[in-house]
């Protein structure tokens, strides 16, 4: 009789890999609302998802709904967030997310979220700007301005061309 009861129960989640590392991710760009998916809540959600492996429980612990979590996952700017979500749910390392050039500005200024796990539980959540991306942006800007400086002396409207070049490079 006890075998029948055990066979109908939902199987337990697979044990965690001892050294699972969640990939760094950028928060999904949304309008800021006090009661919505703020960047800090998105990071806590991924941490809770790594602990519980259940979208409903993780969202409920934050006071949000499962449906809004899946809407957030479908957002066009949620690529790295989806990669972190998949790693947290599956419990094994996924291929590393490659940030796009469009995300370089946000990586340089605010940086991605990092979540440190210890024995399947989130211990630390931090966000650190990417210095190498910031330096490469400064280098590109310096290159564009350096090429445009001699023309400024002769033509007073040359700065318009420099502005166009800066917008293309960023």
Task: Tally the C-alpha atoms within 13 A of residue 34's C-alpha that lie toward its C-beta.
Answer: 0
Q: Using the predicted structure, report yes or no on whether residue 101 has a pLDDT greater than 90.
A: no
Percent of the chain with pLDDT over 90: 40
pLDDT computed for residue 32 by the predictor: 80
pLDDT band at 42 (very low <50, low <70, confident <90, very high): very high
Specify the residue for token string 């500005």. 105
Rg (CA), the chain: 22
Question: What is each CA distance from 102 to 32, 77, 98, 99, in whole angstroms?
Answer: 20, 10, 12, 8
pLDDT band at 8 (very low <50, low <70, confident <90, very high): very low
pLDDT band at 153 (very low <50, low <70, confident <90, very high): low
- Mean pLDDT across 24-39: 91
Residue 115, phi then psi, degrees to nearest 5: -125, 120
Specify the residue for token string 């040359």. 158
pLDDT computed for residue 111 by the predictor: 92
Least confident of 8-12, 33-37, 54-58: 8-12
Question: What is each CA distance from 71 to 52, 63, 148, in whole angstroms?
Answer: 20, 16, 45
- Mean pLDDT across 50-79: 95
């Amino acid at each position: 009789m006890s075998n029948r009861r055990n066979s109908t129960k939902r199987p337990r989640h697979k044990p965690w890999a001892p050294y699972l590392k969640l990939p760094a991710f950028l928060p999904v760009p949304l309008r800021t609302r006090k009661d919505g998916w703020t960047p800090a809540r998105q990071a806590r959600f991924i941490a809770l998802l790594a602990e519980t492996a259940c979208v409903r429980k993780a969202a409920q612990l934050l006071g949000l709904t499962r449906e809004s979590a899946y809407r957030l996952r479908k957002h066009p700017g949620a690529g790295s967030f989806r990669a972190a979500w998949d790693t947290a749910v599956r419990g094994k390392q996924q291929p590393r997310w490659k940030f796009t050039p469009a995300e370089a500005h946000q990586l340089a200024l605010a940086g991605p979220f990092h979540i440190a796990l210890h024995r399947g539980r989130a211990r630390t959540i931090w966000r650190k700007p990417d210095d190498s991306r910031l330096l490469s942006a400064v280098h590109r800007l310096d290159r564009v301005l350096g090429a445009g400086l001699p023309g400024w002396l002769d033509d007073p409207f040359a700065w318009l061309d420099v502005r166009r070049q800066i917008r293309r490079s960023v």
